[in-house]
Chains A and B, each alone.
Chain A
């Protein structure tokens, strides 16, 4: 049976690959970054059950790696797609890792000795990584990679320390780009989303005020594998934050700076993060500034009710108009109107978390013409029909799942991934019958 191409190694891509592979279909999983896992690997807990995110994801990642039917192409991009359903010719460009995957054991000695530091993407910029690095401790495949833009050997022609310390002799500076040509029966795009950068919303001071974080940054900060080991040391002075405010709808539900749609998961992940703070330190003071609490999922409303009644999380209806920073203490004052009583008030907090919009991945604009599918007005992939064909695109044999075609939470992405897997295996069986 012909293989299926899955683009994107997040939870949706992993689920689709596993579903297909378990049915006996070969899968090529193409991931742009050095490791599969996606955004879910960066999360601390999942809502509403407060289960450890990586504990659910890591077994799936390992299963992907070990499955005889799945081939993982990391640091790769899809650059060409020709043909029609049942017979697609795909070109996959594999970027050089500069490390021999067959030799590297993932011991991490190279990154220990590497002298170059760069902000870590996995830690959402809060922590640092080296020029040769493992994406994160649970990375799959557990193989080091060299960032050629940072490495001293590639930029200045000096160093080569990693080569000297590597006990396996896996470092290979001569690796070249490699194009793989595949023949597949169908394509599943699961490229995921990005976080909106709230720099444009000047009144919240993101980028100017050190103690204003985005939700993903906060998720790393409170995570046990994060840069502070789960202690809420705020960025400006390392003080443990006991007074935290969340601001909803930053960059979403707006006609001016941002996107007009609702990002679907912010209300509930803010509640989750608020409860996490309370679990760490029950005397903490947590406030959530919201416009409308959209708790549509199973068990979500109960979760919010429990956060209010049991944990004492404060919910205030009102979008803050401004955040001001105390130049000495670096505390933040939030100016807001409690719209339930129509009173303008201020609140001084240690840390502000902006729950930013989920926006289309910038790679969508590059990938859509390659796959020959349409983008909507924001840059999400367009589906055939949201009711009768929710995972199909305008091109037969190309399917989309997860948050690459609109903001989604994890359960919804997983359900869609299984749906696309069913569609893709149908195509594979049909192509088999034709031969």
Chain B
């Protein structure tokens, strides 16, 4: 039985105790093949043992590419992917460490309204056009489109997205 209250959420998401430790998920996982330390089978085992804190602190959860291969291959309908997603939400909600690219993406959305940075506009004759002159959205570091900026340091927006 799980003792830590915090584990409940991730463990509820999947039936971790149904895991046979057969090793099918790590052998299918494209991350495990390339990055040492990320093993979906071991993540499930640790969640089952209530060792979520250690998992979140180690930072391995951020290497998952969410390709869903583990979920597809699992013979017991356990989904390591969903566990990883839940752990990420917990990490963000608690303000634990997370990749800086997440902050950048969040900043891009709040500042410019677009996730991907706008590319420079070029005509067929390779002339560069000014985005502002064309009335298009601006990228980071450029003139924003007049959105209200949320500059609070803890990133409540990101926390809300993470907690969703």
Contact = CB atoms under 8 A, between A and B. Distances in A.
A258 B73 CA distance: 12
B107 interface: no
Contacts of A336: 23, 27
Given A203-B28, A344-B27, A344-B33, A318 B22 contact: yes
A338 B23 CA distance: 7
Q: Please indicate which of the listed interface residues B22, B32, B42, B69 has the most CB atoms of chain A within 10 Å of its own CB.
A: B22
A342 interface: yes
Contacts of B29: 321, 344
Contacts, number: 71
A335 B27 contact: yes
A360 interface: no
Interface string B1-41: 00000000000000000101111111111001100000101
B27 A342 contact: no
A256 B74 contact: yes
Q: Please indicate which of the listed interface residues B18, B29, B41, B73 has the most CB atoms of chain A within 10 Å of its own CB.
A: B73
Which size class do B's interface residues fall under?
20 to 34
Contact of B27 (A255, A256, A257, A322): A322
B53 interface: no
Interface string A37-67: 0000000000000000000000000000000
Given A256-B77, A337-B41, A291 B27 contact: no
B28 A339 contact: no
A423 interface: no
A256 B75 contact: yes
A320 interface: yes
A255 B23 CA distance: 16
B155 interface: no
B26 A321 contact: yes
Nearest to B32: A344
B27 A320 contact: yes
B23 A339 contact: yes
Interface in A333-376: 335-339, 342, 344
Nearest to A322: B28
A236 interface: no
Given A254-B75, A255-B77, A291-B22, A318 B39 contact: no
B76 interface: yes
Contact of B28 (A254, A335, A342): A335
Interface in B111-153: none
A256 B32 CA distance: 23
Nearest to B76: A255
A317 interface: yes
24 contacts: A254-B75, A255-B76, A256-B75, A257-B75, A291-B22, A319-B23, A320-B24, A321-B23, A321-B24, A321-B26, A321-B27, A321-B28, A321-B29, A321-B69, A335-B33, A337-B24, A337-B26, A337-B27, A337-B39, A342-B26, A342-B39, A344-B29, A344-B32, A344-B39
Interface of A: 203, 249, 253-258, 291, 317-322, 335-339, 342, 344
Given A203-B73, A336-B27, 5 more contacts: A256-B77, A320-B24, A321-B25, A335-B27, A339-B41
- A-B residue pairs, 4 tightest by C-beta: A321-B27, A321-B28, A254-B75, A337-B23
Interface of B: 18, 20-29, 32-33, 39, 41-42, 69, 73-77
